[in-house]
Structure 1
Amino acid sequence: MMLTLLLPLTLLAHFPLSSALDFNWCTKTPPGFRKCGELQQEYQSAGSVEFSCSHDLAEGGCLQEVNEEPNTVVSVNPGKLYHSQRLGGRYKVILAEDYSSAVAHTYYRYYSVAVVKAGRRHLKLLDLKGKKVCHGQYDYQGSTGWDIPISYLYTYHRRFKMDDRCNVLDAINRYFGASCLPDSGGSITDNMRLCAACSSGTCSREVKYRGYKGAFRCLVEDAGEVAFLTHNTVSQWTDGQSTESWTAGLKSSDYRLLCPDGSQVTVDNYNQCFIGWMRPNAVVLGQDVPAGLTTKIQNSLRNPPLRAAERIFNMDRYTQSDEDVIFSGETKELRIVEGREQDPGEYLGDTVGRSYQYSYTRAMDGLYCVTGHAHTNHVNILLISLFYVFIILF
């Protein structure tokens, strides 16, 4: 049972799953592989499920393992799930990360919103040309939801344009004023306006204004006029919810959301004023795994043995960086996904009508010329845009 875990990382490939094991847990980082090994021992000691651990750093590697060995479990963010299922991957979503521990239903949406300081009533969602914007992070892999507001502007605002090569960074650089778009991957050159508002003066080395927390801080400290956040970001760092010095005295009532209809509302009215919605990161299996085994894995991971429960969402034990260690750092527990929503398309919002209009799938469809691993398809994008206009008008 320990063979996969003990092999040198350079030798790990795709091994057939032993019939004695319930599943293989594929991890994408060395810290995640280490955590998996410790969890494996705790589950085994408790007489719970039996699983092996593998490690695959290749782009799409773990999801490819799921295609080859359906009893493989892997945690993915919405962006990777979107691209993989669009390219023919056969998966089912079995669990969703929960970041609040206060949601009564099984899993939930979090909303992408545009936040400004109260009193800046002249600012409107579709009139941000030349404005300074705080972005959490340059990302088309779905880990920050940054693609939702950019797709919204590209789809609905005529003044936000991309050239025939779908150069989104150039379009953003021309559209917004001096902004901050952290990019640890180095895709953005530091002489662009997109880096001018960063605390470090660069996009590549920016830490202070990175992520949703950082983008909100960027707004608080007036480095930007607008911040693209999730609906719960402001509440997490205001009204005494944080002890960090930069949050002292911050009140949620001092901030407003920019709505698609041109109005502004208080931050607690996010369900009436948002740019799009996104699902949490998910745990997936192969599509053809039997229902009985699926349920066993769901229950085992959602209700781990005591010692495993102390480690399953812990990051500090395994890394000092802000990288995810199997699950994202904000995860409080896992929620079981059932029924139609186990289909990746349904989970991400691949439906017709208002639900699709604001879903993450809609956002990624609109930007597929930028994000797709396949060919650019401008005709599809045009048809999608016309479909949205039809919905709005009728």
Structure 2
Amino acid sequence: MEKREYGRGAALIVNICPACSPSPHIRTSFCFFGLQANKADAVSLDAGEVYSAIKQFDLIAVAKEMHKDGSCVFAVAIVRNQSLDIHSLQHTRSCHSGARWTAGWNLPMGFLLSRNMLRWHENQTLNEAISTFFSKSCIPGANGMAHSLCSLCQGHKSYIRDQNYFCETTDNEPFFDSEGAIRCLQGGWADVAFLDHTAILKMENSEKEHYRLLCPDGSKAQLDDYRKCNLGQGPGNAVVTRHNYRRLARKFLSVVQKQFGPKGKESSRFHLFNSSFFDGNNLMFRDSTDRLAILSDNTDINQILGLDYVSLLKGLGHEGSSMDNSVIRWCCISSAEQKKCEDWALNIKSDPLVCVRASSMRGCIEMIKRDEADAASLDGTHTYMAGQCGLVPVAVEYYGDDCIPSIDEEWQKMHHSGEVLPPVYAVAVVKTSSRNMHIGTLARRRSCHGQIYSPAGWLLPVNHTVRANPNKTYECDINAAYRTFFWKGCMPGAKANLCKVCVGGTEDEGPKSSHQRCAANHNEFFYGNMGSLRCLVGDSSGKSFGDVAFMEHHNLLENIKSLEFSGWSRGWILSDFELLCPDGRRASLSEWKNCHLGPVPPNIVMTRPVITTKIYDFLLKSQETLEAHPESDFQLFQSHNYGESDLLFKDQTECLIHTGHLSYRSLIGEDFFQLVEAAFKCTESDILPFCKQDVCNIF
């Protein structure tokens, strides 16, 4: 199709790739090759196809279709049978808007995989897994992938290539696109339809009453509630072209929408985003499009599609990086962790393990979201951050004595389980000799904290220190409040006076490095539980650094003993320390059950949603290998050989329990969730703005 527009003395001729092709099933590929061969100049594609166009065909996106509420679409699952819910879809009949399309394939399959509803075995392709999950389907564009994926389609079949429209991604297939998926459901061909929400907007209210949305929590909702009841939100269509044609394509699109857009000068003659006059739907552009946002040259694919969506597509195999790619990239935050991780890689018989490095837990969260790492075990506060970043739990560290082996009948794999997750507590520790120290007399003292944002070193002490006086107003920003409350201290990752007593550390290759001072990792000697204790006791020369240390109770006794062996400071015994209780008492270290600042959630392994099964399989194989060799020098849950504690996992960990079916919110507990959420309402963290970038409304 040739599209011409003349305006203000300029004439632009752009060949637009049509929504049909002479070859069935390969409309998109035809356009890709047509663009490369200079037979077409531009085409608007679903976001899943945009990814392929950029990554595999070296095309460039020049515009995004914007709707009234942004550029994204909601993926929805619609049913007519009121007895179905999201948990009972296996072996049902399904219709989808299109293969590898955002709302019809990518988001719903990613959702089903992340909730362990769709089982994708290592020796399967994703197409085979989907064909096993649903009994029959119509997924236009899936012809040749698996027979059942097109078995419900109604397009004309013919042995003549140019007359075979069965299961192709054009209007010649009656069940193509979101409107076609609804048509499939209306005709009784399918039990569930996967599509984007824009098709709902075209339905009559009387018609909507016959259908319901399936919500992630197992409930159902009216069709108009798609903003609250959906399987995810993803980017909408974008226009792609050749690199050498991008400037002309942008100019053409700018001119044509000024003339024929909703507010265009010539919109009465021709409406660019309306297909009703041509007896079709979504011709060339989505009918719900409000305008085109023109993209600049420096707009990369992550800005166009969003980090979460790009990593989802990689996980689903859109770039050849799928479940078949067995390399696991574990995120480490220090040289000591990296050394332990490398030993882990050498001591297991499982998928290859690669150890990647970040400078902090927050750095790991960002790397995992960017698909530069795959997993890390995070404390409760950082788990909250990761959850806000779209990451999900894979396994939880279990600190009890009774890890119970159990068999998953469907997968025939061993798992570990525990009845109750034993608690860890935050405690405030002082030297016994500091007789005038009580929980109410800590203002203007020197403080030692494991790290900024840690549950025991940052979050839980708040109500017992900076917010302890109900009659006094306090700084809403916790970081600022700590800086005012304490004289000075070491809170790795913090700023100003809360870094003054930090000492830095040593890297593998050289002496003490000043740039590691106050770093939020083990390269700062006062990082973590062991570091907080070092800060409290002072060094071997007798230099004093801190008056009170906030830490977890779980390995306190072992850390006190290790002070002697590490050479940091000698002669300390258990009776040299006491706990500060919230009621003003002091108690011995053994009384932590009744003298603590609150429970700390267990550490949780977090990853991207689509690879949860892959990560847990790896962890399971690691545990099985190491349990079979108890005599090995390497132990996954011990760190003393590396001169630190709690490297990669807490040393108290007995096993990792599968949690892929649970939310991070339920794992950290509602009380803790509310506490950390309230803290970040007015406390800055650089990772949260990064996590909350909204690709749907940035253009």
TM-score, length basis structure 1? 0.63
Letter of the structure 2 residue corresponding to residue 96 of structure 1: E
> Which residue number corresponds to residue 397 of structure 2?
96
Q: Indicate yes or no: 2:571 matched with 1:249.
A: yes
Deviations 1:210-259 (A, max 9, x none): 43323323322443321112214541244687424454332212221111
Residue correspondence of structure 1 range 364-375 to structure 2 within 5 A: 364-368=676-680, 369-371=682-684, 373=688
> Which residue number corresponds to residue 328 of structure 2?
25
**Contact 1:134/1:226, CA 8 A, preserved across alignment:** yes
> Which residue number corresponds to residue 64 of structure 1?
369
Distance 1:55 1:251 in 2: 38
Aligned to 1:126, what secondary structure does the other structure show?
helix
Distance 2:356 2:516 in 1: 28
Q: 1:335 aligns with which of 627, 639, 655?
A: 655
> Which residue number corresponds to residue 625 of structure 2?
304
**Contact 1:136/1:210, CA 8 A, preserved across alignment:** yes
**Contact 1:26/1:62, CA 8 A, preserved across alignment:** no
> Which residue number corresponds to residue 484 of structure 2?
174
**Contact 1:121/1:264, CA 8 A, preserved across alignment:** no
**Contact 1:238/1:247, CA 8 A, preserved across alignment:** no
After superposition, the Cα gap between the structure-2 partners of 1:199 and 1:108, relative to the gap in structure 1 and judged at 3 Å, is: same
Letter of the structure 2 residue corresponding to residue 213 of structure 1: M
> Which residue number corresponds to residue 592 of structure 2?
270
Residue correspondence of structure 1 range 99-178 to structure 2 within 5 A: 103-104=401-402, 106=418, 108-137=422-451, 139-140=452-453, 142=454, 145-150=457-462, 152-158=464-470, 162-163=474-475, 166=477, 168-177=478-487
After superposition, the Cα gap between the structure-2 partners of 1:124 and 1:334, relative to the gap in structure 1 and judged at 3 Å, is: same
Q: Indicate yes or no: 2:653 matched with 1:347.
A: no
Max Rg structure: 2
After superposition, the Cα gap between the structure-2 partners of 1:37 and 1:340, relative to the gap in structure 1 and judged at 3 Å, is: closer
Deviations 1:251-307 (A, max 9, x none): 21222111111111111111111112223432235567798x787445313223679
- List alignment gaps of at least 5 residues for structure 1: 2-12, 351-355, 376-394
> Which residue number corresponds to residue 385 of structure 1?
none
Letter of the structure 1 residue corresponding to residue 624 of structure 2: N
Q: CA deviation at 1:130?
A: 2.0
Q: Indicate yes or no: 2:561 matched with 1:236.
A: no
Structure ranking higher on relative contact order (CA contacts 8 Å, 6+ apart): 1
- List alignment gaps of at least 5 residues for structure 2: 1-121, 123-309, 404-417, 505-513, 519-523, 539-543, 691-699
Distance 1:113 1:75 in 2: 22
Deviations 1:22-71 (A, max 9, x none): 8652333598899878867876xx5x5x56869696763454368xx9xx
Deviations 1:350-374 (A, max 9, x none): 2xxxxx2xx4x35423411214626
Distance 2:679 2:669 in 1: 16
Deviating more after overlay: 330-339 vs 245-254: 330-339
Q: 2:384 aligns with which of 82, 87, 106?
A: 82
Letter of the structure 1 residue corresponding to residue 592 of structure 2: Y
Residue correspondence of structure 1 range 183-262 to structure 2 within 5 A: 183=492, 185=493, 188-189=495-496, 192=497, 194-198=498-502, 205=517, 207-221=524-538, 222-238=544-560, 242-262=564-584
Letter of the structure 2 residue corresponding to residue 370 of structure 1: T
Letter of the structure 1 residue corresponding to residue 490 of structure 2: L
Distance 2:568 2:463 in 1: 31
Deviating more after overlay: 14-23 vs 305-314: 305-314
Q: CA deviation at 1:82?
A: 0.6
Aligned residues with identical type, % of pairs: 19
Deviations 1:71-91 (A, max 9, x none): x6544343332123245x262
Letter of the structure 1 residue corresponding to residue 489 of structure 2: C
Distance 2:342 2:555 in 1: 33
Aligned to 1:304, what secondary structure does the other structure show?
helix
After superposition, the Cα gap between the structure-2 partners of 1:33 and 1:252, relative to the gap in structure 1 and judged at 3 Å, is: closer
Letter of the structure 2 residue corresponding to residue 93 of structure 1: V
Letter of the structure 1 residue corresponding to residue 369 of structure 2: Q
After superposition, the Cα gap between the structure-2 partners of 1:298 and 1:252, relative to the gap in structure 1 and judged at 3 Å, is: same
Deviating more after overlay: 218-227 vs 25-34: 25-34
TM-score, length basis structure 2? 0.39
**Contact 2:429/2:580, CA 8 A, preserved across alignment:** yes
After superposition, the Cα gap between the structure-2 partners of 1:228 and 1:332, relative to the gap in structure 1 and judged at 3 Å, is: closer
Q: How many residues align?
A: 329
Aligned to 1:284, what secondary structure does the other structure show?
strand
Structural RMSD (CA): 4.8
After superposition, the Cα gap between the structure-2 partners of 1:65 and 1:260, relative to the gap in structure 1 and judged at 3 Å, is: same
